[in-house]
């Protein structure tokens, strides 16, 4: 059996699978978490009003955890590098495909001034065939890999996710021991196991957007028009867009330009999402000033 | 009330690219599935409850738990919890096909 440098993790502890959904329910209903999220939104609102000077370039130290049970899931260093390169292009508006933008949105497409520096790749062999969103992949005890200094690092887990899920994230304000983003191995980077139409690394761009406090562009209210992403320069939009929509795609009386389906925080295919807005960049900067300020402090001293 | 077939009671994921002619196609959540952004799902439980699963604000599915009844062996009536993000979701289904690998539902 192929085994190149990984370490054999203990198999999933049997009772763990039963207790983790409880943890998830607590997270969803825990008053402490709800309060933390409220405080973060108040801070973010105030930061947008006060319009503080730009942070300048912020480089986030990043640890990639490759957790695998079948050899093809043990994605190579070159594929990891391709993902870091994509994050650096997308968060700096250096992606060539920004050229596909309908001209109306080109002026609001933002350089978020955030980069990612790969500091380590961990490799963990697991007996878990597919991980759920119960955060098992983030715990050595559950067959995954523990995060590394999540207060000062982005932790990015790559594994087989179940249920056809591409990835999921955690907002600022959640438990430190599960902080980071998870991406399924066929939607990671742009080489190796990356598979169309999710083979341009945009799942990670989307998830890291959440990790820096961005909401879905349609406002997370199903297909309704009442939801908000708390960003002023994204149009109000009904539900998520899938595939590669054609401009203009109008919903919620948002014509003539319609939905901003080219935004990384929609559900379009990788080749169709090419931008963050200025408002989204400001919201991410507020996350770095506030709930994720330990990243800034660490960057300043490194 | 005739209970629905036991094979119904599991977590199903909506594979919307296989939908055809008003029939929704679901596959078992614990089998390999083609990845997609924003898959919804439904889990039927023998205790009379079901979980309506939608992508949450950080993409992990979030469940709203409601109650199902079976007016006939191939019919399901769904009652969603108040305030659920299920506006516009069907309140009744005809079970068109049910096997261990496939569930096809038509909204009625």
Q: Do A169 and B61 touch (CB under 8 A)?
A: no
Sheet holding A58-68, edge to edge: A7-8, A114-125, A58-68, A154-159, A181-184, A167-169
Residue A302 Cα, gap to closest chain B Cα (Å):
30
Give the closest residue to B37 by CA, choosing from B62, B50, B54.
B54
Q: Are strands B61-72 and B75-79 parallel, antiparallel or unpaired?
A: antiparallel
CB-based contact A266:A243 (threshold 8 Å)? no
For chain B, what are the domain ranges? 6-107
Domain locations in chain A? 55-301
DSSP B19-56: -BTTEEEEEETTS----BTT--EEEE-TTSEEEEEEE-
**Residues contacting A105, CB < 8 A, separation 6+:** A257, A260, A262, A275, A277
User: Which entry of A39, A78, A115, A207 is annotated as an active-site residue?
Assistant: A207
Residue B65 at interface with chain A, using a CB cutoff of 8 Å: no
Q: Which segments of chain A have a pLDDT < 70?
A: 1-29, 301-302
pLDDT value of position A8: 32
Q: Tell me which residue has tokens 């069907």.
A: B90
Residue B12 pLDDT:
97
Kindly report the CATH class assigned to A55-301: alpha beta
CB of B87 within 8 Å of any CB in chain A?
yes
The answer regarding whether domain B6-107 maps to CATH 3.30.450.20 reads no
By Cβ distance, the residue of A133, A164, A267 closest to B13 is A164
Q: Where are the alpha helices (DSSP H) in chain A?
A: 16-29, 31-50, 77-91, 202-211, 278-289, 293-301
**In chain B, whose CA is at the least distance from the CA of A211?**
B58
Indicate which of A21, A22, A165 best probes the interface with B, i.e. most B CBs within 10 Å of its own CB. Answer: A165
pLDDT digits (tens), chain B, 108 positions: 678 999 999 999 999 999 999 999 999 998 889 999 999 999 999 999 999 999 999 999 998 899 999 999 999 999 998 876 566 788 999 999 999 999 999 999
Interface membership of B47 toward A (CB under 8 Å): no
Half-sphere exposure of B10 (CA within 13 A, CB side): 20
Q: Residue B3, class by beta-carbon neighbours within 10 Å (0-12 exposed, 13-18 middle, 19+ buried)? A: exposed
ipTM: 0.92
Q: For A166, which of B30, B35, B86 is closest by C-beta distance?
A: B35
């Amino acid at each position: 059996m192929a085994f190149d440098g990984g370490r054999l993790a203990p198999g999933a502890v049997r009772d763990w699978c039963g207790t983790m959904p409880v943890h998830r329910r607590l997270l969803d209903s825990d008053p402490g978490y709800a309060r933390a999220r409220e405080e973060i939104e108040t801070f973010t609102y105030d930061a947008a009003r006060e319009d503080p000077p730009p942070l300048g370039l912020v480089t986030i130290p990043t640890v990639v955890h490759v957790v695998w049970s079948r050899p093809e899931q043990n994605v190579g260093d070159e594929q990891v590098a391709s993902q870091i390169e994509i994050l650096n292009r997308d968060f700096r508006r250096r992606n060539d495909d920004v050229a596909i933008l309908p001209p109306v949105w080109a002026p609001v497409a933002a350089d978020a001034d955030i980069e990612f520096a790969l500091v380590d790749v961990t490799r963990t062999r697991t007996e878990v065939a597919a991980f759920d969103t119960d955060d098992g992949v983030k715990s050595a005890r559950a067959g995954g890999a523990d995060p590394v200094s999540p207060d000062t690092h982005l932790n990015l887990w790559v594994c087989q996710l179940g249920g056809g899920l591409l990835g999921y994230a955690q907002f600022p304000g959640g438990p430190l021991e599960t902080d980071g983003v998870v991406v399924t191995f066929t939607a990671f980077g742009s080489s190796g196991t990356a598979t169309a139409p999710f083979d341009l690394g945009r799942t990670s761009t989307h998830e890291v957007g959440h990790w820096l406090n961005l909401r879905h562009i349609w406002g997370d209210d199903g297909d309704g028009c009442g939801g908000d992403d708390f960003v002023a320069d994204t149009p109000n939009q009904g539900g998520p867009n899938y595939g590669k929509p054609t401009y203009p795609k109008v919903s919620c009386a948002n014509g003539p330009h319609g939905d901003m389906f080219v935004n990384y925080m929609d559900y379009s295919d990788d080749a169709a999402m090419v931008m963050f807005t200025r408002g989204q960049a400001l919201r991410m900067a507020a996350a770095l000033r506030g709930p994720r300020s330990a990243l800034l402090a660490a960057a300043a001293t490194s | 009330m005739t209970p629905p077939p036991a094979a119904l009671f599991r977590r199903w994921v909506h594979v919307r690219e296989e939908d055809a002619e008003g029939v929704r196609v679901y596959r078992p959540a614990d089998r390999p599935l083609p990845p997609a952004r924003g898959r919804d799902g439904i889990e039927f439980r023998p205790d009379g409850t079901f979980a309506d699963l939608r992508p949450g604000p950080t993409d992990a599915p979030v469940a709203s738990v409601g109650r199902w009844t079976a007016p006939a062996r191939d019919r399901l009536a769904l009652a969603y919890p108040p305030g659920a993000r299920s506006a516009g979701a069907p309140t009744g289904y005809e079970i068109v096909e049910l096997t261990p690998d496939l569930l096809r539902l038509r909204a009625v």
